[in-house]
Amino acid sequence: MAQQRIDTMTVSKSRKYFGTDGIRGRVGVWPITPEFVLKLGWAVGKVLARQGDGKVLIGKDTRISGYMFESVLESGLSAAGIDTHLLGPMPTPAIAYLTRTLRAQAGIVISASHNPYYDNGIKFFSALGTKLPDELELAIEEQLEQQMTTVDSAELGKAIRVVDAPGRYIEFCKSTVASDVTLNGLKIVVDCANGASYHIAPNVFKELGAEVIEIGVEPNGLNINLQCGATHPELLQKTVLAHKADLGIALDGDGDRVVMVDHKGHILDGDELLYIIARHRIAQQTFKGGVVGTVMSNLGFERALNELGVEFVRVSVGDRYIMAELHKRHWSLGGEPSGHIVCQPTLTGDGIITALQVLAAMRSQHLHLAEIRSGMNKFPQILLNVTAPQTLSIEKPAIQQAVKDAESTLGKKGRVILRRSGTEPLVRVMVEGEDEAQVRTLAQQIADAVTAEV
């Protein structure tokens, strides 16, 4: 198995502001400032205005800075002559869906996803509900270099609030499983990470018949992702065991990723959820093509798919690259171990819909989550995050030597990946192999080598 080292910063090196998932950073630190986001809204509006008349949807998660950025985006778009429809707090995949169904020119999400409250970001969807094409992102960046102007008062954009957005999305989520799928008799813990899904996810599962125990549904602007949700599933584990629930579902702050917990308290990550969905679709004879994963996908996952006769390909980390590969191959299923999973008919990662596909598989096979996960044996995989400035080169000789030493030790029975985060000032170290103790030691040696160069 070939080892891989990927620096995601090289993917978007031609861009000044856009990263792998929009623009993200610390609130108050350029470019995540009111001044910049005001001009960003204007630049987006000017680019869209060249394509014709239309409207733009704006949604957000629950972090406190969302109110500020929603206002300045609306102002910038208005100055460019573009109307805005305000959705309020809504999951990222809901905004993608509504952008398409409401026939908007674009959708804007104000969110830093799984990051803490003091970060925020702006990302965009096209009229089709997909990520913006590269050429549009580059056009927006070029427009940002121009002096901001305001259209004539008679041409200013207007803003209205969309009041039925939650209900529209709840019905869409339910429509992604067969009409005879019910959750009657299931006790489910749902952790919404005090994020954008707090008023959506519990209702989806309740309306399908489940008894729902809600946690992470009291956002105050500061507690999004705070010791809860998909990035901190420990709370979900404890709650499932304490209530003797059948399973638990944890979303992240903007609802585009999910992890699940079985009744024994075991966590199922994105690889395991993908495997369950793929195997179920094969049994239902609705599966076509293969599965797209990333360089972080577990080697055990790849081998389990191969045993099912399913082709598996890896791409760089990020749903942008997963979607591009799915579109290229005309496949319908892909995702990441983090729980960011794309399973059509969705066009982006969707935590609620992913969970529903897993629940549908459980109901069809009359199995518990602990039972339906069988058939895939994960390799021990250690992921370490090392805080490092973006200026640090991971190509430094000492760092590369540590990687080569680890690769030599593992041989063909493991993988080493060293890459920059596309959204945070981190270097991510991943080592995977058959021996957990050995993998942990090798990962720490590489992390120490990175730290020594900071």
Catalytic positions are 113
Are the C-beta atoms of 323 and 348 separated by less than 8 Å? yes
Within 8 A by CB and 6+ apart from 326, the residues are 292, 332, 333, 334, 342, 344
Tokens of 396: 């430094």
